[in-house]
Amino acid sequence: MLLAEPNHLGISTAIAAIDQFIKSSAAGFSDVKVDLKREFREAQRLAQYEDASQGLCCAIQVTAKLPLSPDRLIPQPL
């Protein structure tokens, strides 16, 4: 996959295949856990864009609109 398309499309396809292996508990993937699930999904969606920079721009815009969880907030001085 990656050798056929050594770009964002190949990466997206490869990550989608890994996702399917995990979901189907394929041999060697039954214990695999994804830590950064949102980033994993975003990487799969990069194939929707002709240019990787377009996809990254859209991902950044979406991420910027998400509220921060309390553990990621920067404490403000009192």
Write the pLDDT tens digit of every residue in 50-77: 777 776 666 665 655 666 566 655 666 6
The answer on pLDDT for 4 being more than 80 is yes
Please spell the DSSP secondary structure of 43-70, one letter per residue: HHHGGGSSSHHHHHHHHHHHHHHSPPPG
Indicate the DSSP class of residue 56.
H
**Tokens representing 35?**
């830590």
Write the pLDDT tens digit of every residue in 24-47: 999 999 899 999 888 888 888 888
Q: How confident is the model at residue 18 (pLDDT cuts 50, 70, 90)?
A: very high
